[in-house]
Structure 1
Amino acid sequence: MAKAKKEETGGGITAYSVKTKTKNVPMVDPVINVKSGRYIAVGKDADGNNMAAILGKGKAEEHINSGHAKKGEGWD
């Protein structure tokens, strides 16, 4: 899985695409997992490349409540 730098704008979760070297690439159907107390959004870009972004708890819950992401593993 590619490492990505997080960037949130507007509604959905966006991240840096390591493969295409492009910033603010929107994630398609992101899932937010909790691992070791960190909130990690994983998904794919429009071309099917894997992406990930680390979020704070507030942003993660905001994206889930707004319907832009789903809960994954590790939530209580």
Structure 2
Amino acid sequence: MATSQSGGITAYSVKTKTKNVPMIDPVIDVKSGRYIATGKDSAGNKMAAIMSKATAEGHISSGNAKKGSGW
């Protein structure tokens, strides 16, 4: 689950097994009615986080993320 920490999107990194890793340049897509933020961490590992519509729109309106496909 994605959380907002200091304005940015954070997620769990499966590769490094750490929580609340900040996502760099996230893009939020809508797939099958789910809002999915995809991006990379500081080491270049791919990350993804599923969030609610309200959370996704909040991140886009504040400039923390870009709109992807499916909107």
Give the TM-score taking structure 1 as reference length: 0.89
Distance 2:22 2:31 in 1: 22
Superposed CA RMSD in Å reads 0.9
Equivalent residue for 2:13?
17
Equivalent residue for 2:30?
34
Q: Give me the identity figure in percent.
A: 72
1:1-76 pair list within 5 angstroms: 5-75=1-71
Distance 1:63 1:28 in 2: 13
Count the aligned residue pairs. 71
Give CA-to-partner distance per residue, 1:18-62, whole Å, 9 cap, x none. 111111000000000001110000000000000000010000000
Structure 1: 5+ residue stretches without partners: none
Give the TM-score taking structure 2 as reference length: 0.95
